[in-house]
Structure 1
Amino acid sequence: MKKVLLLLLLTPALFFSCKHSDKKSNAPSGSDSLSAQVPDNYYLQYEGTIGNQPATMHVVKFGNTYDVNYAYNNEGQPIDLLFQKDSLLKNDSLFFTEFAPRSVQEDSSGTDAALHLVIRPDGITGLKLNSKNEQQQVQFHPKAGGSAFVPVGYMDSIRIPGFKKDTPTAFSSLVLLEPGTTPNHWFTALLKQYILGAQKPDSASLQTTLTQFGRSFIENFRDDIDTMKASDNEEEAPFSMMHYDQQISSNLIYNNHGYAVLSVGNYAYTGGAHGMYGQTMLCLDMQQQKALALSDVLKVDSATLQPILERQLRARYKIAPDKPLTDILFDERLALTDNFYFTTKGIGFIYQPYEVAAYAVGVVDVWVPYADLRPYLQPAFVQRMGI
């Protein structure tokens, strides 16, 4: 699942060219409101095929950045695409690779599949290439239905000259989706609380909040550098203390039947051995205007659910039945989490780095097909999803 690390590969020059850039698309776009003039920044849901397999794809375009995922309709598990660069290939196509933890890649060569895509509001075309350079045609068109969303963002950067060995830099890139209809204060309040860490969300717009959030990061960096200058300890200052990074990205992985499942990746680096990243899933009932709890989807106790998750963890990470889970996890049991998502074919559970395993393991994503959960699905959820 979500590739917070794909943000890390964005070219820093992009951010240094976006000084104090606050952007929001100026017209709603989404699956149910594709206008003739789609703005430069948009979210769209597409349906089509990769090879001969039907699939659904979600795209967020913001400035020169792309956040893309897709799922084969017969599988339902999201596959995130890593935007490798913003330079164009042949036929104006963009270069992506599939992103997955190394331990769960099906390709035994260890090489990610590559996709060359031409992405436009009226459709997506291109090729998918595996490690043997075998090609599959990619073709998508906008999908009807679903809720309309627009990306709201803030990008900023700073360089501070005057140091002998290096030029301190910091950049901030923040992109979140919000409903593309009339203001949805309940939705904005959820983003402020669960993504931006507000204890008591205020009435400010999401754009205003993101701008304040990003500028605060830049100003804190400036203060840290000023403190370093004042102490005259540049010679002792490590390189890592001079380059800060803050990134938030978002995309939907499901958008139908009045439900929207939002995946939000975040990354922050303010010095030290490495940055911290994670992935937050928000399952939203757009009709009832609320976030869903796991109990809205499943009626199951922890004693029943835990072994189901552990069985799927073993399969996904190739842990033999006679091997302890501590081959990957800190403990011999997998704790339950409220950080979940769902699509047409199953439910996934996300664990952040350090939550149940070492940082090197990355985000742990446990996918459970509905077939394994059939007795425990809430009847109202089953009826509305049509499963």
Structure 2
Amino acid sequence: MKKISFLFLAVLTLCFSCKHTDKKSDNSSGSDSLALAPAPDNYYLQYEGTIGDQPAVMHVVKFGNTYDVNYTLNNEGQTIDLLFQKDSLLKNDSLSFIEFAPRALQDDSAGTDAALHLLIRTDGITGFKFGSKTERVQFRPTEGGSAFVPVGYIDSIRITGFKKDTPTAFTSLVLLEPGKATDTWFTGLLKKNILGAQTTDTASLQTALTQFGRSFIENFRDDIDTMKAAGNEDEAPFSMMHYDQQISSNLIYNNNGYAILSVGNYAYTGGAHGMYGQTMLCLDMQQQKELALSDVLHIDSATLQPILEQHLRTRYKIAQNKPLTDILFDERLALTDNFYFTPKGIGFIYQPYEVAAYAFGLIDIWVPYTELRPYLQTAFIQRMGI
């Protein structure tokens, strides 16, 4: 799951776009544009293996030169995202990742996030995790779960002719869709929930992503033209002249006929900071439908709310005698339908500004099944083997 790491990714991709030398496509505007074709080795794979002596499942999405990786320890059940260090080719072609965890869950005494050096191949993953101790990482691909393929669009533009700066815009859009052509219901959900397409839209996901990315670039071009027309192009702050748009996706669970897709987004179009978020799509691949929370839990809001509030206190270290407004806007935590699940529990995600200030980032509340057992739907228990 991608959280505030999107802000770091924004910086990395901005550097990428500024370094790129693009071919001219519109001499009248003094701009350069490049659309990168998908590499032949784009793939999604699920792996099973160990980190140290702990069994784990790892999900990898490779698209071009980028990687989206997460893992879940089998005995804990909470997903850990890995932030890819783009220019980090190490010995033996290993890649460098930083383990990203919510600040409230980190050991303050550790000081830094754990790093992983991984050699990723379709036939396996090897490497090491460096944290409080060094642990060996070993994974092999598993045939369990549904097949998915990454679909993406990458584009960048540079506007020349400015005295102090060269405005740039970068868009990177990668979504997973099922490998079966019959799973059009899934593609429709992605286009509607992530790209805002109309329900009657019949375009392919590739076409929809291309249109979405090109629209962002064209909006940037229009904004620059407006700035020029106003005659203040040389007075704008450097940061406001560099737009960035990202959508990335990976599965955090893919088994028992369920697929939990985590979709992260980040956009900067001027202003004090960019906006980011995370949408969780819980899919029943057997029934070909998106799951509602009622498909997993039979529980009323009056019962669920205090459970979430207690876990909010635990996760974000809010003492029982302190008000929730130490973090939240209100004293009570509103419920959300942005949820996910793994073999060990259910998580609930709130976007920045939804219930708390931007500085607190995404609010992620995790509740283990051990506390929800009386409320789990029987069919869900049977399918998950809980």
The residue that corresponds to 2:14 in the other structure is 12
* 1:151 to partner: Cα distance: 0.2
- Is this contact kept in 2: 1:45–1:58, CA < 8 A? yes
- Is this contact kept in 2: 1:69–1:80, CA < 8 A? yes
The residue that corresponds to 2:29 in the other structure is none
How far, CA to CA, are the matches of 1:295 and 1:22 in structure 2? 41
How far, CA to CA, are the matches of 2:110 and 2:231 in structure 1? 50
Letter in 2 for 1:102: R
The residue that corresponds to 1:249 in the other structure is 248
How far, CA to CA, are the matches of 2:378 and 2:261 in structure 1? 23
Correspondent of 1:21 among 29, 33, 36: 36
The residue that corresponds to 1:54 in the other structure is 55
Structure 1 pair 347–65 and aligned structure 2 pair: CA distance change class (3 A):
same
Query: What SS is found at the alignment partner of 1:172?
Result: strand
- Is this contact kept in 2: 1:248–1:266, CA < 8 A? yes
- Is this contact kept in 1: 2:13–2:170, CA < 8 A? no
* 1:286 to partner: Cα distance: 0.6
Superimposed CA distance per residue, residues 223-279 of structure 1 (whole angstroms, 9 cap, x where no aligned partner): 111111122212332323311000000000000011000000000100000000000
Letter in 1 for 2:2: K
Query: What SS is found at the alignment partner of 2:330?
Result: coil
Letter in 2 for 1:44: L
* 1:9 to partner: Cα distance: 4.3
The residue that corresponds to 1:307 in the other structure is 306
Relative to the length of structure 2, the TM-score reads 0.93
1:31-180 paired onto structure 2 within 5 Å: 39-130=40-131, 132=132, 134-180=133-179
How far, CA to CA, are the matches of 2:101 and 2:79 in structure 1? 10
1:196-345 paired onto structure 2 within 5 Å: 196-345=195-344
The residue that corresponds to 1:31 in the other structure is none
* 1:116 to partner: Cα distance: 0.5
Query: What SS is found at the alignment partner of 1:10?
Result: helix
Greater Cα offset, 307-316 or 206-215: 307-316
- Is this contact kept in 1: 2:14–2:244, CA < 8 A? no
Query: What SS is found at the alignment partner of 1:20?
Result: strand
* 1:6 to partner: Cα distance: 4.9
Structure 1 pair 319–352 and aligned structure 2 pair: CA distance change class (3 A):
same
Relative to the length of structure 1, the TM-score reads 0.93
Greater Cα offset, 371-380 or 181-190: 181-190
- Is this contact kept in 2: 1:251–1:264, CA < 8 A? yes
How far, CA to CA, are the matches of 1:232 and 1:326 in structure 2? 45
The residue that corresponds to 1:35 in the other structure is none
Superimposed CA distance per residue, residues 164-199 of structure 1 (whole angstroms, 9 cap, x where no aligned partner): 111000000000000012242211110111111124
Superimposed CA distance per residue, residues 58-112 of structure 1 (whole angstroms, 9 cap, x where no aligned partner): 0000011000000100111100011122331122111111112223213523310
Letter in 2 for 1:286: M
How far, CA to CA, are the matches of 1:201 and 1:86 in structure 2? 41
- Is this contact kept in 1: 2:297–2:377, CA < 8 A? yes
Structure 1 pair 260–188 and aligned structure 2 pair: CA distance change class (3 A):
same
The residue that corresponds to 1:28 in the other structure is none
Greater Cα offset, 95-104 or 303-312: 95-104
Query: What SS is found at the alignment partner of 1:380?
Result: helix
Point out where structure 2 has 5 or more consecutive residues left out of the alignment: 23-33
* 1:320 to partner: Cα distance: 1.2
CA RMSD between the two structures:
1.5
* 1:341 to partner: Cα distance: 0.2
How far, CA to CA, are the matches of 2:282 and 2:330 in structure 1? 28
- Is this contact kept in 1: 2:119–2:127, CA < 8 A? yes
Letter in 1 for 2:7: L
Structure 1 pair 331–281 and aligned structure 2 pair: CA distance change class (3 A):
same
Query: What SS is found at the alignment partner of 2:85?
Result: strand
Point out where structure 1 has 5 or more consecutive residues left out of the alignment: 26-38
